[in-house]
């Protein structure tokens, strides 16, 4: 192996309290592809710039997703899901499974959810306007994606408050002992693991119901579809429901929270949004580029291959650091500036190539509606307390964002 760069980009403390943006810039300039030591594991290649990132994303002949897609994954969980869960499958299974799930995310279907998104967001903003301050993460950003997933899965109205509650616990801010979660919606403390287990049990019952009486939703699409001439097993359906919930919650929650923070810190951009002088779709793309919630994805080399100026060996882990790639100066002029009018953005927030995020259209519309409602209803926004960042090397996000809206 070549000399190891001193910085461990997978150190979660870097994202909780450090300055990753400056470190990313230095690495892009000096070591755009480098071997990153990460004790106690064997380490991995870190891809920090745009061109080699696209190479790894697109080359499914040289790289596999079935051996894990993130640093520090549980090997047992990866083995259990490999070849069954969309994000850890390779061709030819991946495109077939993706097609089964895609019916819930085509633009035509997503556009019909826009009115539902407004029905969720407008009351939340109205309530926030009556309070001295709110935690934007738990009281707004975490609620919208959970509610929309309930729509996509056609969960009965009588059970949606429970599912939103469990989702808030499963993905909420950590409090007390590590792994516990609490939010205004959640009431009593529950560990994140316990909340995920409750969600999994609910999905088990939901799958049984859909097998008996299928409907027009993504769960039914998975149940009724075939993969290589056979029906999906309950395990395959459950794994993909869980993956769908995780992806939908994490991206929108963190992009909207970090996006609001960016608007507050860039008042001129906030005024341009309010005045309608920037295209809303362009603004959404800039929020996604600038916030880049999914810090990295991982692939394993299936054969010896050159990435950038480095020779990668078969079996090596290769990680693409999306948040750094999205600030590559050769692709994004003035990358550290938050510019809602930035056009032609080719960001990799949702990945590139065969594994392009299935829920990207949904996340875009959720952010669009949120920005529109904020611009319509809110005049001033201020941060009124300590912003707490997520301690994670997988999601670049905010755990607590105390704000006053007026």
Is-contact 280 365, C-beta < 8 A?
Answer: no
Residue 176 has pLDDT above 70, yes or no: no
Statement: the pTM of the whole predicted model exceeds 0.75:
yes
Could you give the CA distance from residue 356 to residue 363 in angstroms, rounded to a whole number?
A: 13
Is-contact 238 203, C-beta < 8 A?
Answer: yes
Could you give the CA distance from residue 344 to residue 346 in angstroms, rounded to a whole number?
A: 6
Closest by Cα among 400, 130, 165, 158 to 261: 400
Structure tokens at 6: 């001193």
Give the SS3 label for residue 133: coil
Residues 31-46, buried b or exposed e (16+ Cβ, 10 A)?
Answer: bbbbbbebeeeebbbb
The pLDDT score that the predictor gives to residue 4 is 53
Is-contact 143 164, C-beta < 8 A?
Answer: yes
The pLDDT score that the predictor gives to residue 221 is 87
Could you give the CA distance from residue 62 to residue 84 in angstroms, rounded to a whole number?
A: 20
Confidence of residue 102 (pLDDT cuts 50, 70, 90): confident
Residue 163 has pLDDT above 80, yes or no: yes
Mean pLDDT of 280-306: 97
Mean pLDDT of 199-223: 90
Is-contact 304 314, C-beta < 8 A?
Answer: yes
Confidence of residue 131 (pLDDT cuts 50, 70, 90): very high
The pLDDT score that the predictor gives to residue 1 is 45
Could you give the CA distance from residue 406 to residue 384 in angstroms, rounded to a whole number?
A: 13
Q: Are strands 134-135 and 180-181 parallel, antiparallel or unpaired?
A: unpaired
The pLDDT score that the predictor gives to residue 117 is 92
Q: Is 171 left (phi over 0), alpha (psi -120 to 50) or beta?
A: alpha
* 346 vs 110, residue with greater confidence: 346
Which stretch, 193-207, 211-225, 316-330, has highest mean pLDDT? 316-330
Ordered by where they begin, the domains of the chain are 12-405 (1.10.630.10)
Our CA angle for 110, 111, 113, nearest 5°, is 70
pLDDT tens per residue across span 34-81: 999 998 888 999 999 999 999 999 999 999 999 999 999 888 989 999
Confidence of residue 18 (pLDDT cuts 50, 70, 90): confident
Closest by Cα among 230, 276, 244 to 362: 244
Site of tokens 């990207």: 360
Could you give the CA distance from residue 6 to residue 393 in angstroms, rounded to a whole number?
A: 17
Instruction: Give me the chain's average pLDDT, please.
Output: 89
């Amino acid at each position: 192996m070549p000399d190891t760069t001193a910085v461990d980009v997978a150190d979660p403390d870097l994202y909780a309290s450090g300055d990753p943006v400056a470190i990313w810039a230095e690495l892009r300039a000096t070591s755009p592809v480098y071997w990153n030591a990460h004790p106690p594991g064997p380490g991995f290649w870190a891809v920090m710039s745009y061109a080699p990132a696209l190479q790894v994303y697109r080359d499914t002949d040289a790289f596999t997703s079935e051996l894990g897609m993130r640093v520090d994954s549980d090997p047992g969980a990866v083995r259990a899901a490999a070849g069954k869960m969309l994000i850890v499958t390779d061709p030819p299974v991946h495109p077939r499974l993706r097609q089964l799930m895609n019916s819930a995310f085509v633009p035509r279907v997503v556009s019909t959810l826009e009115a539902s998104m407004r029905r969720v967001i407008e009351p939340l903003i109205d309530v926030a306007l009556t309070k001295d301050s709110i935690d934007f993460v738990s009281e707004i950003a975490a609620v919208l994606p959970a509610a929309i997933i309930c729509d996509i899965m056609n969960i009965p109205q009588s059970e949606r408050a429970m599912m939103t509650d469990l989702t808030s616990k499963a993905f909420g801010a950590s409090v007390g002992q590590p792994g516990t979660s609490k939010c205004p919606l959640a009431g009593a403390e529950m560990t994140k693991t316990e909340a995920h287990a409750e969600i999994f049990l609910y999905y088990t019952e939901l799958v049984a119901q859909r097998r008996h009486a299928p409907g027009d939703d993504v769960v039914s699409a998975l149940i009724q579809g075939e993969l290589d001439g056979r029906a999906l097993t309950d395990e395959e359906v459950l794994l993909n429901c869980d993956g769908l919930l995780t992806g939908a919650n994490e991206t929108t929650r963190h992009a909207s929270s970090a996006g609001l923070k960016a608007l507050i810190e860039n008042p001129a951009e906030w005024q341009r949004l309010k005045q309608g002088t920037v295209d809303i779709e362009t603004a959404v793309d800039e929020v996604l580029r600038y916030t880049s919630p999914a810090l990295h994805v991982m692939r394993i080399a299936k054969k010896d291959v050159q990435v950038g100026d480095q020779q990668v060996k078969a079996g090596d882990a290769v990680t693409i650091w999306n948040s750094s790639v999205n600030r590559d100066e050769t692709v994004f002029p003035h990358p550290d500036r938050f510019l809602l009018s930035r056009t032609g953005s080719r960001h990799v927030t949702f990945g590139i190539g065969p594994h392009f995020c299935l829920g990207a259209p949904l996340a875009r519309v959720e952010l669009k509606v949120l920005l529109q409602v904020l611009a319509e209803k809110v005049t001033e926004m201020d941060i009124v307390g300590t912003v707490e960042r997520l301690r994670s090397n997988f999601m670049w996000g905010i755990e607590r964002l105390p704000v006053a809206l007026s």
